[in-house]
């Protein structure tokens, strides 16, 4: 389904702050509250809006140590891929997992408390998984830009 300019503008507003009322969105977009409500319901129905979430401050919940970990599997075959992906889905420290092309097979984004917590994660969880050939970790010095919004 093709989205029009109003749909895109509404999605941008929702990505910026989804707690506003339909009336507030309607005023910004020059439409009726009912029209905005119907558009939001349609966007949810077609899957353009998948979920509504609260963005939590990592520092306040003591998970401000961010690591990007490249993972190479021993052998890049269907069974190993399926098993690795199923196992990584159960690791709460991993907030993103991307299957990559290139030298490494996966890139994981991991949030933990500190270096010691990351070492425990690596030793007891990640490298304890089957089929991992090697890993390479990079640690965030400073988060320069972070956005959850998809550019429209």
Sign of CA dihedral 40, 43, 47, 49: negative
Q: What is the pLDDT of residues 38-48, one digit of tens each?
A: 999 999 999 99
The structure's pTM equals 0.90
Give me the CATH code for the 5-46 domain, please.
1.10.10.10
Q: Is the pLDDT of residue 1 over 90?
A: no
Contact 82, 129 (CB under 8 A): no
| Whole-number Å distance between alpha carbons of 119 and 86 | 22
CATH topology for the 65-139 domain? Alpha-Beta Plaits (3.30.70)
Whole-number pLDDT of residue 55: 94
pLDDT band, very low/low/confident/very high, at 96 (cuts 50, 70, 90) = very high
How does 128-143 read in b/e, with b if 16+ C-beta sit within 10 Å? eeebbeeeeeeeeeee
Domain ranges of the chain: 5-46, 65-139
Average pLDDT over residues 103-115: 97
Helix axes 22-29, 5-16, angle to 10 degrees: 130
């Amino acid at each position: 389904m093709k989205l029009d300019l109003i749909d895109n503008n509404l999605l941008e507003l929702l990505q910026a702050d989804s707690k506003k009322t339909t009336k507030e969105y309607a005023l910004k977009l020059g439409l009726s509250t009912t029209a905005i409500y119907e558009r939001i319901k349609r966007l949810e129905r077609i899957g353009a809006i998948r979920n509504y979430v609260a963005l939590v401050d990592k520092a306040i919940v003591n998970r401000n140590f961010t690591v990007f970990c490249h993972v190479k599997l021993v052998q890049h075959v269907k069974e190993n891929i399926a098993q690795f992906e199923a196992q990584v889905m159960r690791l709460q420290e991993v907030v993103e997992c991307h299957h990559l092309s290139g030298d490494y097979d996966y890139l994981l984004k991991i949030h933990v408390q500190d270096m010691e917590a990351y070492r425990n994660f690596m030793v007891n969880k990640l490298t304890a998984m089957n089929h991992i050939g090697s890993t390479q970790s990079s640690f965030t010095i400073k988060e320069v830009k972070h956005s959850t919004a998809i550019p429209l």
